[in-house]
């Protein structure tokens, strides 16, 4: 199968995934205790007032009717208005989703920048002190909860040293990256440990392959062997791991954005759950599902570039 056909097949496979996620999100959000109307009106609202507002919002209809209405409007690109914020849901997501994507992308770049060179050093010096030291340091990062790492970074580098802002998002691209650096580091530390361990194991496996021995017998330098022959083959499984970890990275963004007061979709999701904002939760779940699905597609394309056999 050529690359264009593979991309088309993957895009078709995304559709049933989105339908299933839409059904699950729609049902689960209505299993939450409480309802948005009672949350809006407070404890002193009368039953008649609650019933009248539920009828206005369509929440008094059977759940299957509500779902069909949700699907019909979603296909048209209309996700309704937020119950808590009283603005179109599409506008909320358009404002906040780029923040979270930028945070996840920056965390991924930091994790790769930390993990790849150190994985090489660890693999080349296997079972020697550099290997033990690197694995021990990354094990600490892997074992530390994200919220603890975030609070530690916030206390030291933002509150005490004042090198970075305490929270927010800033104005302009440079200011955005400056504000997101500490949250991205908090996300990247555990992620980099996962990448390093996987890449180290892959490098050790590739170093014993026959084509590497053949390259050495040709008199190629160690640098060329590592960069041209070992790295490309070792990265195949690591790229898959990075793509699969994107869902966990977005999940970690929920905690990180809350700790650093970053106005992304993770923080929006938490606020919407507490407010029982059905429309935002449903649309946001679908938007994140699309992001993760497209990330998997990008992972497949990178794999095909690293290993053309994957397209067959």
Residue 88, helix vs strand vs coil: strand
Higher pLDDT, 307 or 170: 170
Q: What is the pLDDT of residues 153-177, one digit of tens each?
A: 888 888 888 888 887 777 878 888 8
d(CA 229, CA 72): 52
Q: Is 302's pLDDT higher than 80?
A: no
Q: Do 276 and 34 touch, CB atoms closer than 8 A?
A: yes
Q: What is the predicted pLDDT for the residue at 4?
A: 67
Q: What is the pLDDT of residues 99-139, one digit of tens each?
A: 888 888 899 899 888 888 888 888 888 888 888 898 888 88
Q: What is the predicted pLDDT for the residue at 63?
A: 74
Q: Is 12's pLDDT higher than 80?
A: no
Q: What is the predicted pLDDT for the residue at 3?
A: 64
Tell me which of 38-42, 138-142, 247-251, 280-284 is least confident. Answer: 38-42
Q: What is the predicted pLDDT for the residue at 131?
A: 84
Q: Do 238 and 306 touch, CB atoms closer than 8 A?
A: no
Q: Do 23 and 67 touch, CB atoms closer than 8 A?
A: yes
Structure tokens at 297: 């597609």
The residue ranges of every structural domain in the chain are 3-75, 91-311
Q: What is the CATH number of domain 91-311?
A: 1.10.3720.10
Burial class, 266, CB count within 10 angstroms (exposed 0-12 / middle 13-18 / buried 19+): buried
Reported confidence tier of residue 307, pLDDT bands at 50, 70, 90: low
Q: Do 300 and 233 touch, CB atoms closer than 8 A?
A: no
Who's near 265: CB < 8 A, 6+ residues apart?
93, 96, 97, 99, 100, 253, 284, 287, 288
In this prediction, residues 24-40 reach a mean pLDDT of 70
Higher pLDDT, 214 or 184: 184
Q: What is the pLDDT of residues 35-85, one digit of tens each?
A: 666 666 666 666 676 667 666 666 667 777 777 777 777 777 777 778 777
d(CA 268, CA 262): 10
Average pLDDT, the chain: 78
């Amino acid at each position: 199968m050529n690359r264009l056909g593979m991309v088309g097949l993957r895009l078709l496979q995304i559709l049933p995934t989105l339908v299933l996620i839409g059904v699950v999100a729609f049902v689960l959000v209505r299993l939450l205790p409480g309802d948005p109307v009672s949350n809006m009106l407070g404890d002193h609202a009368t039953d008649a007032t609650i019933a009248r507002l539920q009828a206005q919002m369509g929440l008094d209809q059977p759940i299957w009717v509500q779902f069909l209405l949700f699907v019909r409007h979603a296909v048209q690109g209309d996700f309704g208005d937020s119950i808590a914020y009283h603005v179109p849901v599409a506008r909320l997501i358009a404002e906040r989703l780029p923040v979270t994507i930028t945070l996840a992308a920056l965390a991924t770049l930091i994790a790769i920048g930390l993990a790849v060179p150190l994985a090489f050093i660890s693999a080349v010096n296997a079972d020697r002190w550099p290997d033990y030291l690197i694995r021990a340091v990354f094990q600490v990062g892997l074992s530390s909860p994200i919220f603890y790492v975030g609070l530690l970074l916030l206390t030291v580098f933002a509150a005490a040293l004042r090198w970075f802002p305490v929270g927010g998002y800033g104005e302009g691209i440079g200011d955005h990256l400056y504000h997101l650096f500490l949250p991205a580091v908090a996300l990247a530390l555990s992620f980099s440990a996962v990448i390093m361990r996987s890449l180290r194991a892959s490098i050790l496996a590739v170093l014993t392959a026959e084509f590497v021995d053949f390259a050495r017998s040709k008199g190629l330098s160690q640098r060329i062997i590592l960069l041209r022959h070992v790295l490309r083959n070792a990265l195949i499984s690591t790229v898959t791991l990075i793509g699969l970890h994107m869902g966990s990275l977005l999940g970690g963004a929920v905690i990180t954005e809350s700790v650093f007061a970053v106005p992304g979709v993770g923080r929006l999701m938490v606020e919407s759950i507490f407010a029982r904002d059905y429309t935002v939760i449903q649309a946001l779940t679908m938007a994140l599902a699309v992001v993760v699905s497209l990330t998997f597609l990008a992972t497949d394309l990178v794999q095909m570039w690293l290993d053309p056999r994957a397209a067959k």
